Structure 1
C-alpha cells in the first residue's frame, strides 16, 4: 500500500484527513513528522498504520462533524508511545497492546505526548451493530491490553498490518471481515463486563436475547417457544421486549436478517443461493425472507449479493 509522509503539521493535517475523516490539529511539536500506510479491507473497512514523531494533538471538532459527518467507528490499537483519547465525558490512557473505540459522528480528541505508533481499524458503525456489539456504550472506553479478547484482536491486527501488502484483494476482504468480527467480540466482552450483572427482569430479558442469538437459525424459534422454555406467559415475554422498545417476534426477525445480511455480503459464502440463505437463517420461504429483507435494508437480497460481486 502507498505510504503518505508528512514533514510538518500542515502536511499532517491533510494526510490524516485524507486517510480517516476530516480532522484538525491542536498543539504540535515544532519538529513533528509522521507517516500513514492505509490498507483497504473491503466493505468500507480500512486498517491504517500510523507512526508519529513528536508530541501532537488531533481534533475532530463539532464544526467538522456538522460540516462533514461520518458514521464510522475507529478502533485505535496502541503499539507504542504515550497518549490519551477523549470523547464526551470519557477519557482513556492508552497502554501498549490495548486500545480505544471512538465515534466519528461526535467530536473527539487524540493527544500524544511522545513518539507513537497506532494501528487504526475504521469500520462503519452498522457492521459492529450487526454483530451484536453495543458500540454506543464503548465509545471513549479503553479495551485493556490484558483482556483475552483484546489480546487476540491486537495480535491479529499486527499480523494483518504486516502482511497486507502481499495479500490479494479477495484475501484482504476475507481477513477484513474477520478483523471486524474480532473487534465486535472484544467490544461485547469488555462492555458486558463493565456494565455489571443484570438482575430481575433485565436478567431474564438478557438471557432470552442470548438464547435467540444462539438459536436464531432454528425455524421452530418463536415467541411461544421462548415463553415455554422460560416457563412464563407469551404476554410476559412481550412485556419484557416492549420495555426494550421491540417485540420478541421483531427481535427474532431482526437477528435473522442481520445474519442473512452478513452471509450475503461475505465473499467466502458467495456460492450460497438466496433461497439457501433464507432457509439457513430460519425463514420459511424465499418470498417471506425477501419481503422482510427489503423492509429492513431497502434492497432485495439479490441486489445486495450483486453489489458484493461488483465490489470484488
Structure 2
C-alpha cells in the first residue's frame, strides 16, 4: 500500500493470519492478535485467507491520548482481555446500527472508538479517565442493551445477572442507565412492551393469545402487563391487535382509506 493519509491503522486479525512489511520491519499476526500501522508510511499487507477488522484514526486525535502510540507501531498485540472484547463488540454492534448515518451519531461513535483504541494501546492517565466516562461507558451500555434484547424472554435481565455476565457491579449497571435519564427496569419494560406490540401486529402470530405473547416476552403477570401496555401505548393490547388488523385490511385491494389513516396513526403511537 502506498503512502497515504496521516492516520493510525489498528488492524485486528479475527481469523487466519496476516504478514506486514512496514517501517523497514516485518511482522506477522494470527487470529486473536492486532497490530498498529501508520498510514503516512508505505506498508504492504499479505493476508492468507484471513478475516479481519481494521480501524483508522487520525494521529492528531489518538496521539495525545496514547503517548506511546508511535512506539507501539509494528508490535503484535494479543487481543485477549476485557479491553479488546469491549472494542470489538462495540464496533460490531455499531456496524448493525441503522441510524449511524446521522452525522452526530457518527461523531460520537468515532470518539468512543478512539477512546477504546487508546486504552488498548496504552492511554495516558487523563485519557483513561476520559475514556472511562465516555468510550468505555458507551461500549458497555451498548453491549448490555444488546444482551437485554437477546434475553428478554428468559427473564434473566436483572442487574445482578447482567453484572455477572459483563463482569461489572450491579450498581455500575444501574448508574449507566441513570446517566441516560432512565433506569434498568424502565428500559427492560419498554423493550418488552415494544416486543409485544410488534408481535401483536404480526399476522403469523394471529392464532396466539395475547397472554401467551406477553409471557413469551418475559412478563410474569398479566394484570401488570395490561396496565403497563395501556399506560405506554394509550390503548389495550386487544385494541392494538385490532388496529393492526384493520390497517392490514385497508392495504388490501378494496380496503377503506379512512380506516387506513386511523389505524396508521394508532400504530405510529405504538
Please give the range of the TM-score, normalised by the shorter of the 2 chains: 0.3 to 0.5
Greater helix proportion:
2
Structure number with higher relative contact order (C-alpha < 8 Å, ≥ 6 residues apart): 1
TM-score, structure 1 as length reference: 0.38
Greater strand proportion:
1
TM-score, structure 2 as length reference: 0.43
Which structure: larger Rg? 2
